A and B are shown apart, each in its own frame.
Chain A
Amino acid sequence: MPPAVPLNASIPAVPLNYYLILSAILFTIGVVGVLIKRNPITIFMCIELMLNAVNITLVAFSRYQSTLTPAGAYANPRFIDGQMMVLFVFAVAAAEVAVGLGILVSIFRNKVSINVDEIDLMKG
């Protein structure tokens, strides 16, 4: 049974909550950007910002995971899982950007407008 105190409890560090608050602020900036921007490229960039905000949360939780579980659970070797999830988010973001920008290019080729409100081809 491992000791119930963190190994480096004496080293002062940034509390987990600070990372979560920063992540929440960045996510909200991304949401507000999606709501108020009319340029599809900028909206895409705001989505990337939201993905990054969530990634901060994942990495921070993976770093602090052991202190969130009951005593002794930090011997769990799965503390790397948050970072693995971030890697998969990277892959999905890359795929999303490739396909999304391809769609944008093909929309702009057929219809010259950079306003998302005027791109309503799929409206019934």
Chain B
Amino acid sequence: MSGQLILFGLLAAIAVVCGLCMILNDNPVRSALYLVALLFTVAMLYVTLNAAFIAAVQVIVYAGAIMVLFIFVIMLLNLGTPEEIVDHLKPQKLLGPIAGLLLIGLLASVVAAVPTGQGGQPLSNGTIGPFEIGLALYSPKNYWLFPFEIVSILLLVAAIGAVMLAKKRI
């Protein structure tokens, strides 16, 4: 039982509990805060996987920007107070978890097929920081430069689309 395993178990337990609390809570604000805690836990998991830059971006973009947007919309639309929602699809509440159990059985059977013969130990010990990411992203020798440009167009289109949707009349 190594320290890394204990750390992973702790983080995984926090993540799963936060996820369950998120979907079992009726209050959207509380769900959002549980999701923030889960995102921080996932960022720590990235640190254990030597992905320092991804962990930082996870905290800044997900926990920082995207969740602020969620909270902002919840407050703007006054969704914070759980109302009596008329459930038109009663059986779905029952069938959803059953479908989830089936799905996790399927995924577990796939995970069980992952070869572990090589020991399943990570190879490189180098942390991948902004330097390595930048080298892979901007170097013309790599194939990530073109997707990077495409993503910039995607973000531009999304920004224009959000502005269009926010107008009084579409």
Structural contact, A25 and B16, CB atoms closer than 8 A = yes
- What 1/0 flags go to B83-124 for Cβ under 8 Å of A? 101111100110111011001100110011011101111111
Structural contact, B76 and A105, CB atoms closer than 8 A = yes
Interface centre among B31, B48, B111, B121 (most CB of A within 10 A): B121
Structural contact, A84 and B133, CB atoms closer than 8 A = yes
Main secondary structure of the interface of B (DSSP, over half): helix
Structural contact, B39 and A52, CB atoms closer than 8 A = yes
Q: Give B31 Cβ to nearest chain A Cβ, in Å.
A: 5
A residues in contact with B112, CB < 8 Å: 17
B residues in contact with A108, CB < 8 Å: 77
A residues in contact with B58, CB < 8 Å: 55, 90
Q: Give the A interface residue count (CB, 8 A).
A: 81
In the complex, chain A residues 34-58 whose Cβ is within 8 Å of any chain B Cβ: 35-39, 41-42, 44-46, 48-49, 52, 55-56
A residues in contact with B12, CB < 8 Å: 18, 22
* Docked pose: A21 CA to B106 CA in angstroms: 11
Chain A residues proximal to chain B, CB less than 8 Å: 6-9, 11-22, 24-33, 35-39, 41-42, 44-46, 48-49, 52, 55-56, 59-60, 62-68, 71, 74, 79-81, 83-84, 86-88, 90-99, 101-106, 108, 114-115, 117-118
Chain B residues proximal to chain A, CB less than 8 Å: 2, 4-5, 8, 12, 15-16, 19-20, 22-23, 28, 31-32, 35, 38-39, 42, 45-46, 48-51, 53-54, 57-58, 61-62, 65-66, 69-70, 73-74, 76-77, 79, 83, 85-89, 92-93, 95-97, 99-100, 103-104, 107-108, 111-112, 114-116, 118-125, 128, 132-133, 136-137, 144, 147, 151, 154-155, 157-159, 161-162, 164-166, 170
